[in-house]
Structure 1
Amino acid sequence: MLRSCTAGPPGSLRLALPAAAPAVRRRLRECAARIPEAGAVLDILEKCPERQKKGEFPVVVFEGLDATGKTTVTQSVKDALGAVLLRSPPACISQWRTIFDEEPTPIRRAFYAAGNYILASEIAKASTQAPVIVDRYWHSTAAYTIATETDGNIQNLPPDDDAVYKWPEDLLKPDLVLLLTVSPEERTRRLEGRGLERTKEEAELEANSLFRRRIEESYRRMVNPACQEVDASPSKEEVFKTVLQLIKNHCAL
């Protein structure tokens, strides 16, 4: 269940996390009259089966903050394995991302959560034909929500065993989740080199180191599946070799 469609005082963290597809549908339905795109997302979501089953091929998710090398690594792994590359939010709704990024946090999170369930449908289909590489999935939605709904240092995060870190029971689960990390200094250097316009959340990451730490720590506390951390500071070639070996060790290819 989610908080109300209008912005308000922070409530329970569990209420802020869109933990199941029915809750996401309810939130989008409540917002559809004011935000037509919410109705469009809902229409796509309604066509997705509630329970998705993974095919016989492995599904590997890459997580991490912007400028940690996800785009480069996922493309390289895709080419090496002959895999299908999918991204969150999925292409069918990504054109509305800028609209929802301007909405209050609960609505924005509903959009990204809906994207996870729509993406699950795409993963289920693709994994019957080839390995699937995914650039962000549920862990991102959860980590950013947890970091937004808490304040201050990481000591204020929910305890390690809290349910907010657990994968939703009704969402297709990947075989492996790799969390790419670099130092704050290296990430800033890469961002400046890209010269791209930053989102509100990316600006917040740069301005508020505590927010960034809360996100990173939230990633590390995820369970079932947990994130396996990969140092993405070395050269692209070294990171690719490390990632490929981890995938081969963990997944049947």
Structure 2
Amino acid sequence: MADGIILLLCETSVHCAARIPEARAVLDLLEDCPEHQKKGGFPVVVFEGLDATGKTTITQAVKDTLNAVLLRSPPPCISQWRTIFDDQPTPIKRAFYAAGNYILASEIAEASTRAPVIIDRYWHSTAAYTIATEVNGKVQDLPPAHDEVYQWPEDLLKPDLVLLLTVDPEERVRRLQCRGLEKTKEEAELEANSLFRQRVEESYRRMVNPACQEVDASPSKEEVLKTVLQLIKKHCAL
């Protein structure tokens, strides 16, 4: 998987350097990452979900409660170029986010040697949005459950637990409106196209090795935090 990402970014940097000079910088960072990163002795917990499901609030609360390190995908070293790659053709855009996961793995490996690690999105987001974008139609048109597209990459550092935060569509839209932030292209698509949203959500649910543990994020922050901490205690050695 990483080799394919490097190849695509190499092609991008060679053929589109004048138009996307940042591709060369992403490639340099990716090539500097050691292969087959290994997790340290502390647990690594990923939070996934659509925008406005409470990831930012809950990840910060869990970080504070567990004295953990909080990381995000894409990592800060490349997130400054996110809007540039969001405007590129889908294959280049997805290569950027996939590369971000492998770069982030280096940060996870180091951080997990000294404290629990909480991550706001990781590989499952990249995969779920890619699958939902590549497949048109209804949920039934997605690759069947247990298809290899839902498998975690063998060469990517694996977390101990993945929690998928969910809220009903009406509540999610209400939260987005309260935030008053400019919508990303994908967020606008999620709002306008219920089939796309359903494909993303179902793709999350079909991920395996590790699978997502679904958490209803509709209750209060305190209730959701309590549920999340119980799951972390159950599945991780703290």
Same fold (TM over 0.5): yes
Segments of structure 1 that go 5 or more residues without pairing to the other structure are 1-19
Matched, 1:143 2:124: no
Matched, 1:72 2:52: no
The 2-side partners of 1:226 and 1:157 are apart by 17
- 1:236 aligns with one of 210, 221, 234: 221
* TM-score w.r.t. length of structure 2: 0.98
| CA shift for structure 1 position 227 | 0.2
Superposition pairs of residues 59-138 of structure 1, within 5 angstroms: 59-138=44-123
- 1:32 aligns with one of 8, 13, 35: 13
Secondary structure at 1:92's aligned position in 2?
Answer: helix
The 2-side partners of 1:252 and 1:204 are apart by 39
| CA shift for structure 1 position 100 | 0.1
- 1:41 aligns with one of 13, 26, 30: 26
| CA shift for structure 1 position 50 | 1.3
The 2-side partners of 1:172 and 1:216 are apart by 23
Matched, 1:162 2:147: yes
What is the root-mean-square deviation in Å for CA atoms of aligned residues? 0.5
Residue type of the partner of 2:163? L
- 4+ residue segments displaced more than 4 Å: none
The 1-side partners of 2:151 and 2:118 are apart by 21
The equivalent residue for 1:245 is: 230
- 1:153 aligns with one of 128, 138, 147: 138
The 2-side partners of 1:180 and 1:87 are apart by 16
| CA shift for structure 1 position 161 | 1.4
Residue type of the partner of 2:142? L
- 1:52 aligns with one of 37, 43, 52: 37
The 2-side partners of 1:110 and 1:39 are apart by 13
Secondary structure at 2:41's aligned position in 1?
Answer: coil
